[in-house]
């Protein structure tokens, strides 16, 4: 596989902004097709149309669950997952219950993971679990989440939703997203059968290549065109 194709097949093209309408969905699915990326990542209502647009291609349809804050009850996340898979999704990106993780209610987190894993395994689908690392007080929380994802049989651990804004010292709201330190930490503590997905803040080729060096195998991106056009100039 040449370098440009390798990069393209690591990208989950994100179509998640709250303002995106159906016309934008169709446009961005075409971007995914034109660049032959790994998948699109869409909102639950959009799965059926995205699956129809991408039918017969090598671009998978991913759907977010409990997005972006992870606050849905477990049975709601299970139901959302079932509907997304029925509508044509083959990959699921689920946000953990962040509050439960912050209070170290690890039994709850594990039970929720196991419940959703049961659905994805039954349907031969992939589950990526979003931690929202910006909200985690220290690395021990991320390590514990990696261990629970490994224990329950999740397919990927994922850094961020891209919408986990934290109040900064200057009063602005922003997020770090996928940092190299966190990606290395997640690769180290997730089991060898669990892959790592970077999401949030990967906007140019140089940083994308740094992310690759950590052993990360999927990257959520909105800057897909810019990344791949630069890759073609450099490696094509």
Render pLDDT for 82-109 as a digit per residue (tens, 0 to 9): 999 999 999 999 999 999 999 999 999 9
Q: How confident is the model at residue 175 (pLDDT cuts 50, 70, 90)?
A: confident
At residue 1, the pLDDT reads 64
pTM reported for the whole predicted model:
0.96
Q: Kindly name the residue from 77, 100, 158, 195 that is annotated as catalytic.
A: 158
Q: Kindly name the residue from 77, 100, 195, 197 that is annotated as catalytic.
A: 197
Q: What is the tally of structural domains in the chain?
A: 1
Mean pLDDT of 138-144: 98
Q: How confident is the model at residue 111 (pLDDT cuts 50, 70, 90)?
A: very high
Q: Kindly name the residue from 12, 77, 93, 155 that is annotated as catalytic.
A: 93
229 class by beta-carbon count within 10 Å (0-12 exposed, 13-18 middle, 19+ buried): middle
pLDDT at 7 over 90: yes
Q: What is the CATH number of the domain that holds 154?
A: 3.20.20.70
Query: Does the annotation mark 158 as catalytic?
Result: yes
Question: What sections of the chain are H helices per DSSP?
Answer: 3-8, 22-35, 47-54, 74-86, 98-102, 106-122, 139-152, 180-189, 205-213, 224-235
Q: Tell me the CA end-to-end span of the chain in Å, nearest whole number.
A: 12
- Domain encompassing residue 153: 3-235
């Amino acid at each position: 596989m040449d370098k440009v194709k390798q990069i393209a097949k690591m990208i989950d093209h994100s179509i998640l902004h709250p303002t995106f309408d159906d016309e934008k969905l169709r446009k961005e699915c075409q971007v995914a097709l034109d660049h032959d990326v790994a998948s699109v990542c869409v909102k639950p209502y959009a799965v059926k149309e995205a699956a129809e647009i991408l039918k017969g291609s090598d671009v998978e349809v991913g759907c977010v669950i409990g997005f972006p804050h992870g606050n849905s009850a477990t049975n709601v996340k299970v139901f959302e997952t079932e509907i997304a898979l029925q509508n044509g999704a083959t990959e699921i990106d689920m946000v953990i219950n962040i509050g439960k993780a912050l209070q170290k209610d690890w039994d709850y987190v594990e039970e929720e993971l196991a419940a959703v894993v049961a659905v994805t395994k039954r349907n031969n689908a992939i589950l990526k679990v979003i931690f929202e690392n910006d909200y985690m007080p220290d690395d021990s929380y991320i390590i514990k989440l990696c261990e629970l994802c490994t224990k329950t049989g999740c397919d990927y651990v994922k850094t961020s939703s891209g919408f986990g804004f934290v109040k900064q010292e200057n009063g602005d709201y922003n997020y770090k997203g996928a940092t190299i330190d966190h990606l290395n930490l997640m690769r180290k503590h997730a089991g060898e059968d669990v892959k790592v997905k970077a999401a949030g803040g990967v906007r140019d080729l140089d940083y994308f290549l740094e992310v690759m060096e950590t052993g990360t195998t999927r990257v959520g991106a909105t800057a897909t065109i810019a990344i791949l056009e630069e890759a073609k100039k450099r490696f094509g």
